């Protein structure tokens, strides 16, 4: 019996190790290439062990006209504010749907569920944002994505339903209102699921470029992802021009693009380990129970 268990654990460890390497090696390659000399890349291609390292790509990134740093600050601000507001809204909605004293809470949950299956479309979305004046300003990067995701809402609802009802009843007997119970009792106890949806919302805001395409005209409001989208479009255009006649135009280098990728994913990579234990617990309890 012990031999079978040891064999299973060994096979499982090998499989997990190989899977982790398969996920990690592409990111490691991007990191190495970003520090590789451009001439070396052109001669030998991508390599984990380049012949010559260089910091020119990062020097080019940070010595530009400041657009990158401006876009970086915009993305950080939008991600922080938008994630915080979305988590609070989702938590409050989840508390209302999990509260047995709220009338018609099951019907409200059905309405939220319908939005997972149907949506009004792009044109009404744009018209509403334009009508509300949410265009070419910082609010255009926050408010259109602020409405909570039904999936996240039901995660929070299911998690809060598992909290002891006697605890909430004791608070009500002591004179606590719903706002006090939600923010001082339920939210602290629901930290795992709130951290989980915070990562989901944070990833959504950090990677969002669609709102900028549709609603932003000013360059000083470009988020980081939209700036990268424009950079890639310009690279493709320049390469096409080179193929036709413009041989004197130099496209951005491969190491430059890899450096941009590393700078982009950096905050998310460093944030995830701090939220990992909350995310696992929040997903398990919020998705399985309820």
Over residues 213-251, the pLDDT tens digits come to: 888 888 888 888 888 777 767 666 665 665 544 444 444
The model's pTM is: 0.75
Q: Is the pLDDT confidence value at 267 over 60?
A: yes
CB 270 within 8 A of CB 263: no
Q: Is the pLDDT confidence value at 132 over 80?
A: yes
Which of the four pLDDT bands, split at 50, 70 and 90, describes residue 42?
confident
pLDDT at 65: 62
Q: Is the pLDDT confidence value at 71 over 80?
A: yes
Cβ neighbors of 135 (< 8 A, separation 6 or more) are: 129, 215
For range 72-98, the mean pLDDT: 90
Which of the four pLDDT bands, split at 50, 70 and 90, describes residue 286?
very low
**Using CA atoms, how far apart are residues 40 and 52, in angstroms rounded to an integer?**
7
The residue with greater pLDDT, 38 or 177, is 177
pLDDT at 86: 92
CATH of domain 55-288: 1.10.3720.10
- Percentage above 90 pLDDT, the chain: 4
The angle subtended at Cα 145 by Cα 143 and Cα 147, nearest 5°, is 85
pLDDT at 275: 62
pLDDT at 78: 92
Long-range contacts of 42-45 (CB under 8 A, 24+ apart): 42/254
Which of the four pLDDT bands, split at 50, 70 and 90, describes residue 203?
confident
What residue spans define the domains of the chain?
55-288
Sign of CA dihedral 221, 66, 268, 254: positive
pLDDT at 209: 86
pLDDT at 250: 44
- Percentage above 70 pLDDT, the chain: 79
């Amino acid at each position: 019996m012990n031999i079978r268990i040891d064999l299973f654990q060994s096979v499982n460890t090998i499989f997990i190790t190989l899977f982790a390497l398969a996920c990690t090696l592409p990111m490691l390659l991007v990191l190495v290439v970003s520090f590789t000399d451009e001439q070396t890349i052109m001669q030998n291609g991508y390599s984990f062990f380049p012949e010559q390292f260089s910091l020119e790509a990062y020097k080019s990134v940070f010595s530009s006209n400041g657009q990158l740093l401006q876009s970086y600050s915009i993305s950080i601000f939008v991600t922080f504010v938008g994630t915080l507001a979305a988590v609070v809204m989702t938590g409050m909605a989840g508390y209302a749907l999990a509260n047995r004293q709220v009338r018609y809470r099951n019907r409200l949950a059905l309405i939220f569920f319908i939005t997972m299956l149907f949506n009004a479309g792009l044109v009404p979305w744009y018209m509403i944002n334009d009508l509300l004046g949410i265009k070419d300003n910082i609010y255009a990067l926050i408010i259109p994505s602020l409405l909570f995701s039904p999936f996240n809402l039901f995660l929070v609802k299911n998690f809060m339903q598992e909290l002891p009802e006697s605890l909430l009843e004791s608070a009500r007997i002591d004179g606590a209102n719903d706002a006090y119970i939600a923010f001082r009792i339920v939210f602290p106890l629901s930290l795992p699921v709130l951290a989980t949806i915070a990562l989901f919302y944070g990833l959504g805001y950090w990677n969002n470029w669609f709102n900028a395409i549709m609603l932003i005209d000013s360059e000083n409001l470009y988020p980081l992802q939209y700036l990268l989208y424009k950079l890639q479009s310009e690279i493709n255009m320049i390469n096409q021009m080179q193929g036709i006649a413009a041989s004197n135009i130099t496209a951005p280098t491969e190491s430059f693009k890899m450096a941009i990728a590393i700078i982009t994913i950096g905050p998310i990579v460093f944030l995830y380990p701090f939220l990992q234990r909350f995310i696992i617990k929040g997903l398990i309890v919020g998705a399985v129970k309820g």
